[in-house]
Amino acid sequence: MKLKIIFISIALILLPALVTAQCAMCRAVLESEGSEATAQGINDGIVYLMIFPYVLIGGIAFFIYRSFKKKKPSNS
């Protein structure tokens, strides 16, 4: 179980390095300018902003899970 959690954590940490978040229109405009650094900066910004909704939803789901787990009466 611990190995599974470690593997998932590593995969989630490395995932943003593999993601290209630009839409086709943004990519075309940035690549036509010829500046690869600008395109990479925009892509990193999009990925950075994309993380926060998932963190918020994950946090809310965790607190809901924890509250339901505490409410269950133990039959032991």
Residue 12: the pLDDT is 76
Any residues with CB less than 8 A from the CB of 27 and at least 6 apart, and which?
20, 39
Query: Residue 44 — pLDDT band, cuts 50, 70, 90?
Result: confident
pLDDT digits (tens, 9 = 90+) for 1-21: 788 888 888 877 776 666 665
Mean pLDDT of the chain: 79
Residue 63: the pLDDT is 93
Rounded to the nearest 10 degrees, what angle do helices 36-71 and 24-33 cross at? 150
Query: Residue 62 — pLDDT band, cuts 50, 70, 90?
Result: very high
